[in-house]
Amino acid sequence: MALNLIMLGPPGAGKGTQAERVARARGIPKISTGDILREAVHAGTDIGLRAKAIMDRGELVSDEVMIGVVAERLERPDVRAGFILDGFPRTVAQAAALDGIMHGRDPLIVIDIAVPEAELVRRLGSRLICDACGVNAEAGETVCRRCGGRLTQRADDNDPVVRERLRVYRRDTQPLVDYYRARSTFRAVDGAQAPDEVAAALAAAIEEVSNAGLGAVSPGGSAR
């Protein structure tokens, strides 16, 4: 069975770091809409400039744009053994569209990484990214591990914008947990732990679902 994994959780929950770990361990692509958009911003394309203005205000890029980006990406041959989606879906409308995209494929495993808001604010206020390739820095890094670039604070990681991003998350994205919760392939893990402990909990959750031998899961949440 292909490992088709969605990582849910608020900004600062560590979704990107954990998705990279799973992708390396399983040999499947990590598909981050955030990375795709940041690449467009860095390239200075029209959509990149529009997306930058939206993200700098702490708002979300439109469903239409994100659904199109993901649908196109999931048609590539490197996802046949599975994939990890990081940053998509972010709304129930996107989740419903993804159910359509996934028709006829192996089921989605959905992991929610839960972290208290106070910890998220602390993490995001001290987070650094590479100003060349956009990858998030891990603790203790002084230069980018991927390309050696300079690490800087993201424009949308200052305190007022962080709190706005979390408010937007609660309003628009938190309902995804309710959308997926009833599915037999949904699991939640404690993201307030140390990264290695989160990784272990995540691996155990994936193994539990995979060992259950679940068939295709309908959008309503029941196995078929």
**CB-CB contact of 182 with 173 (8 Å):** no
Find out whether the peptide bond into 89 is cis, omega within 30 degrees of 0.
yes
Catalytic (active site) residue 165? yes
User: Is 127 one of the annotated active-site residues of the chain?
Assistant: yes
**Which residue among 90, 123, 183, 187 is the active-site one?**
90
Q: Is 171 annotated in the active site?
A: no
122 included as an active-site residue? no
- Please identify which of the residues 38, 52, 123, 154 carries the catalytic annotation: 154
Q: Which of 15, 21, 52, 183 is catalytic?
A: 15
Q: Which of 30, 73, 165, 183 is catalytic?
A: 165
Distance CA 86, CA 89 (A): 8
Is position 154 annotated as part of the catalytic site? yes
C-alpha 48/C-alpha 213 separation (Å) is 41
Long-range contacts of 119-123 (CB under 8 A, 24+ apart): 119/12, 119/192, 120/10, 120/11, 120/12, 120/13, 120/162, 120/166, 121/12, 121/159, 121/162, 121/163, 121/166, 123/12
Among candidate residues 26, 57, 127, 163, the one labeled active-site is 127
Q: Which residues are catalytic?
A: 15, 90, 127, 154, 165
